[in-house]
Amino acid sequence: MRGSAIVPPSAPRRRPARRAAGALATAALLLPLLGAAPAPAAAQASPAAGASAAGGLQRAFATAAARYHVPLSVLLGVSYLQSRWDAHAGAPSVTGGYGPMHLTDARTALATAAHHGQGGAEDARGDDARPALHPAAVPSPTVRLPARLRTLPRAARLTGLTARELQTDPGANVAGGAALLADAQRELGEPLSDDPAEWYGAVARFSGADDTATASAYANDVYDVLRTGEERTTDSGQRIALAARPGLAPDRAQLARAGLRTADAADTECPRSVACEWVPAPYEEFGDGDYGNHDVGDRPSSQRIRYIVIHDTEGTWDGVLNLVQDPTYVSWNYTLRSTDGHVAQHVKAENVAWHAGNWYVNAESIGLEHEGFLANPDAWYTEAMYRSSARLVRYLAAKYGIPLDRQHILGHENVPAPLSAYIPGMHTDPGPYWDWRHYFALLGHPLHRTAGRGGGLVTILPEYSANRPVFTGCTAPGEPCAAHGSGAVRLYSDHDENSPLIEDIGIGTAPTTDVNDVSSRVSTGQQYAVADRWGDWTAIWYLGQKAWFRNPGGQPTAVPAAGLVVTPKAGADSVPVYGRAYPEASAYPAGVPARSVSPLPYRLPAGQRYVVGDRVPGEYYYAVTFTRDSHRVVVGKDLYYEIQFGHRVAFVRAADVRLLPSTT
């Protein structure tokens, strides 16, 4: 989705009204959740638990563990799964969670902002053969805040610390987490044992999940951390260590006494390692030949699933799930919850969800929405959600033969526009604050150097926490965003940060540093052909231009790689670039109108090289009616190469280019 600056509740919605969804029932403790975004971080309070000095946070864990009689390793393991021990300077997560223990207080952390899919003129289906479906501006529903979003007030009652201390002081926050764990252990009737194996039930309860599958998946992740151990430097510069306990075997039988419900996992397509429930997106007809909110299909028998697209919701869990169950809205395959990594599946993999804004990509992809907001850098994602997402993606990639690389695991921001007119409105999520480096490590395919300096390519790979490019537009147009780690690297027209930014002619406006402007930046894991070098600067071929970025040897933002590239065939000054790989006109059977093979406004010039992600056939899924009898998959003889052309991928006809090793 395109991220939006936080706006007051009275700000008008930009999407034209079509049909409003039914409101949810109100209850005693209510909060508008749809489109809620975290409020700006509160100012730092004076330390309440001595975690500000060097090494103080490690001591704070030890002090809290001793005070509340919780094994230190359990406290560290839970905190790692919540935040990787980061404090985020007192800023709340997407679900109103604070500090290393992610103590939640959604009532104070969440404020109204533009909702999921906001934008008005977008066509999430991305198929000009069928009129665009523009979903309604749905009023924000009100829902009862679940216990998982109210752990901070409970921690305040247990510890006697103020809410402000728990929000802003890491040491106080750790104490609050320890108190919650001890309280959960007592509620289960378990002793405050010094054996971490006897805390499985309390850890599961700490997740806030109300079902056994999610709570168990969360606890299993914590105990995986305890078995392997972890060590890292936090966002405040403190080194935290957790020693490995390889043989640790928790008492999983405790979970049966936790009083949690059994979630209905029937019909879901998920690995056993994640907690998954079926919340179906409706396939319904609603007059005038209109229907939604996806198309039935027969994948992978009819056509391959080639891509997984990573989105953020630009809205919170409850509101977004309400939307995907509206037949007049758009759809995606899965939604992931931030607090505990819980997964809801909405559309079967065999069917085509409307999520990417490009019909070719939709027809060959699976879309995952993650609870989050790209325009708020401190609306951070939990480790629990990153891990759950990675396990789901690993499962889907193995099942459908999808390579685990950045030309097949796409951000929504990397999906090309199908036609030139779509370019300015394409989405920009999950944005520069999604940690692709960490995500690929969790996928079991860590990004790293794969060649020497002469490999001909680079893989973009900045150190996330240390890489802090300036972005604007998070809270108001032109206003600087909070300084934050990022996986993005900015591109310039020369080896000088005072030179102009690289321009995307398809967008039609001058490039900016706005958090939603992807015209002049690259992202972690993307690969490009090296065009030049100058001191600490590297140039790559990008959108038909030579684009420069800082790449100092002491703190590199890219590492050498090698692979396959394309360049125009001999004699061609340039070749066209496409946003969809559609068949030639002669491939369409009677009754299926041929779709135009229309190039985007870009050209791939002679002498330039672009990294190849895949070779694909020209393919089009014709599905413009509710009934399936007219649906067809059209496959042509023309072949295309998917390439990394700019920030987004693109396609070139194989007949127009030469395929070369990058080292030549």
* 52, pLDDT greater than 50: no
Catalytic entry in 369, 371, 383, 642: 369
**Residue 433 within any structural domain of the chain:** no
Domain total of the chain: 2
Final residue in a domain of this structure, among 233, 257, 281: 257
Closest CA to 76 of 181, 217, 184: 181
16 — pLDDT class (breaks 50, 70, 90): very low
Other Cβ atoms within 10 Å of 302 Cβ, number = 16
Q: Which residue has the higher pLDDT, 44 or 595?
A: 595
Whole-number pLDDT of residue 650: 98
**Residue 422 within any structural domain of the chain:** no
* 168, pLDDT greater than 70: yes
Tally helices (H) and strands (E) across the chain. 12, 32
Final residue in a domain of this structure, among 257, 287, 316: 257
**Residue 574 within any structural domain of the chain:** yes
Whole-number pLDDT of residue 547: 98
Rounded Cα gap, residues 89 and 102, in angstroms = 12
Whole-number pLDDT of residue 301: 95
Q: Taking a C-beta distance cutoff of 8 angstroms, is the pair 186, 198 a contact? A: no
Mean pLDDT over the full length of the chain: 87
Rounded Cα gap, residues 74 and 223, in angstroms = 8
CA distances from 26 to 109, 140, 141, 284 (A): 20, 12, 9, 27
Q: What CATH number is given to the structural domain containing 98?
A: 1.10.530
**Residue 588 within any structural domain of the chain:** yes
The mean pLDDT of 9-28, rounded to a whole number, is 30
**Residue 405 within any structural domain of the chain:** no
The mean pLDDT of 359-382, rounded to a whole number, is 87
Least trusted range by pLDDT, from 140-144, 164-168, 390-394, 552-556:
140-144
- Per residue in 142-166, pLDDT tens? 456 788 889 999 999 999 999 999 9
**Residue 307 within any structural domain of the chain:** no
Whole-number pLDDT of residue 516: 94
Query: Is there a catalytic annotation at residue 369?
Result: yes
Final residue in a domain of this structure, among 203, 232, 257: 257
The mean pLDDT of 104-132, rounded to a whole number, is 63
- Per residue in 613-627, pLDDT tens? 999 999 999 999 998
**Residue 531 within any structural domain of the chain:** no
**Residue 301 within any structural domain of the chain:** no
- Per residue in 406-422, pLDDT tens? 999 999 999 999 999 99
Least trusted range by pLDDT, from 122-131, 248-257, 326-335, 442-451:
122-131
Tokens of 474: 């998070």
Q: Which residue has the higher pLDDT, 227 or 484?
A: 227
Structural domain boundaries, residue 583: 567-661
Rounded Cα gap, residues 126 and 602, in angstroms = 19
The mean pLDDT of 362-381, rounded to a whole number, is 85
* 261, pLDDT greater than 70: yes
